[in-house]
Structure 1
Amino acid sequence: MIELKQLTKRFGEHPVVQNASAEFAKGKVTAIIGPNGAGKSTLLSMAGRLLKRDEGEVWIDGKELVEWDTKALAKRLSVLRQANSFSLRFTVRELISFGRFPYCQGNLKAIDQQAIDKAIEYLELSQIQDKYLDELSGGQRQLAFIAMVIAQDTDYIFLDEPLNNLDIKHSLQIMATIRRLAHELNKAVVIVIHDINFASCYSDTIIALKKGEIVAKGTVAQVIDSSVLSEIYETPFNVIEVDGNRMCLYFS
């Protein structure tokens, strides 16, 4: 379990995140939604120790984040940021192998190769594993980065807007993979996402931010609600139920 307690971040005098508290449980997908500038990525960055917090606490399995050794933390938590690029030319397999660095420091052993093979198989990348990243589509590259995270084999996975600039096919593939990671491999996957339809269909828990504050959190049914979303986004929403527990959104 990861617990966020009263996290706050200011840039100068401007509060970007204020008193944010939440929990990320294993076996569940947690989506963080909200308007642009709501503080979603800032919250995730503080929780992942990529950004210094001004106030508050982050607890991972009963241990405060600042107390974690970097190498030990890298075996427990993996983070995929919005912008991912390399100046050097790597194949898909070489990129995925970086996920094993916390375990082997670059000296790949048989167990590391097995983890790489498993990640490639999990995302069905075997046919392109020897291709260079600059030869791939945006969706294929994003799948390769997610495979790198899978190879890292952590209990907690943070993904910051992994669907940016992707088409529907690759977005669906990535969201289905995210759900499998949580439900089949018992990982806690936390995703910052703009598309509320994807959040509603593939998440177990949703956290909504507005102007730096958590204004709603709970199950899909609790957050994906016409009045709740209309208040968060300051625009009319009309929510209907499709296929039982899947909620789809339409503007009215």
Structure 2
Amino acid sequence: MIQIENVSLVRGGAKILSDVSLHIPEKGLVAMVGPNGAGKSSLLSLIGRLQPLQSGRISVAGLPVDATPSRELAKILAILRQDPAPASRLKVRELVGFGRFPHSRGRLTAEDRAVVDAALADFALTALADRFVETLSGGQRQRALVAMALAQDTPVLLLDEPLNNLDMPNARDLMRRLRRVVDERGRTVLAVLHDLNHAAAYADRIVAMKDGGVAADGSPRDLLTPDMLESVFGHRMRVAEIDGAPVVLHHL
């Protein structure tokens, strides 16, 4: 589904990514983790064509991201950046409706409205649809932004720190809803996450990045070990197993 081959990125003379190759198969939730500055958000922005590809190749569903027309690419993948700022005096339904722009060019059809309604329902926003976005709590606003990306109705969803600024209950609720979208709709979700336990609990696969490259790649059980975490984050961490899943407890 997502094929990354020998991708490097230099910005301001600094090497951000170095010869990254990665394959993300169709359907599933993949968490990208790693210390700050590891290159996670930069790689996501290259996949979503938020910045130009300098070297290597990236394709999504067989389409090269650097050569595919924007409108065609927008029907294959949706991307939610860190801390996007929706316009003021915008209602939740209108915000989520922006996800239909690649399909309707701003003139919503009955089919578009049905997709928007489904996205609102998926993220428990139906009762808030006519509220202005600025009146929402942080958790509600983040759900609305993810619903907007979901309403784009693409097979691939790229999320850059979707749990940013969320407290634990709201973060857990959002991850559960994303897990349901993957399981019930067969989507491919690639998300940059900082919380290792949310990655362990909800992701099918974890890709750990360090110093602009892929340091480890595997299932949560295989990847979340004290040795592996120390090699990626530089800190020894204690890992326990609870209900058959690994849980990172604290630094040792």
Instruction: Show the counterpart of 2:192.
Output: 192
Residue 175 of structure 1 pairs with residue 182 of structure 2: no
Residue 86 of structure 1 pairs with residue 90 of structure 2: no
- 1:21, distance to aligned residue in structure 2 (A): 1.1
- Deviations along 1:33-68, one digit per CA (max 9) or x if unpaired, are 000111110011011111122211101222222221
Instruction: Show the counterpart of 1:232.
Output: 232
Work out the number of aligned pairs and report it. Answer: 251
Instruction: Show the counterpart of 2:248.
Output: 249
Instruction: Show the counterpart of 2:64.
Output: 64
TM-score using structure 1 length: 0.97
Distance 2:228 2:190 in 1: 21
- The residue identity in structure 1 corresponding to 2:35 is P
Instruction: Show the counterpart of 2:30.
Output: 30
- 1:94, distance to aligned residue in structure 2 (A): 0.6
- 1:11, distance to aligned residue in structure 2 (A): 1.2
- The residue identity in structure 2 corresponding to 1:159 is L
Please, what is the CA RMSD of the aligned residues?
1.0
Residue identity over aligned pairs, in percent, reads: 37
SS at match of 1:103: helix
- 1:87, distance to aligned residue in structure 2 (A): 3.5
- The residue identity in structure 1 corresponding to 2:121 is E
Greater CA drift, 84-93 or 37-46 = 84-93
- 1:167, distance to aligned residue in structure 2 (A): 0.9
Distance 1:22 1:82 in 2: 22
Distance 1:31 1:47 in 2: 15
- 1:22, distance to aligned residue in structure 2 (A): 1.1
- Deviations along 1:14-34, one digit per CA (max 9) or x if unpaired, are 111111111222221010000
Instruction: Show the counterpart of 1:154.
Output: 154
Task: Please list, as runs of the form range in 1=range in 2, the aligned pairs for 1:127-142 lying within 5 A after superposition.
Answer: 127-142=127-142
Q: Say if 1:26 and 1:182, in contact at 8 Å, map to a contact too.
A: no
Distance 1:16 1:185 in 2: 34
Instruction: Show the counterpart of 1:209.
Output: 209
Residue 106 of structure 1 pairs with residue 110 of structure 2: no
Q: Say if 2:77 and 2:156, in contact at 8 Å, map to a contact too.
A: yes
SS at match of 2:66: helix
* Structure 1: runs of 5 or more not aligned: none
Distance 2:88 2:140 in 1: 18
TM-score using structure 2 length: 0.97
SS at match of 2:130: coil
Q: Say if 1:2 and 1:59, in contact at 8 Å, map to a contact too.
A: yes
- The residue identity in structure 1 corresponding to 2:148 is M
- 1:120, distance to aligned residue in structure 2 (A): 0.9
Instruction: Show the counterpart of 1:120.
Output: 120
SS at match of 2:164: coil
Instruction: Show the counterpart of 2:2.
Output: 2
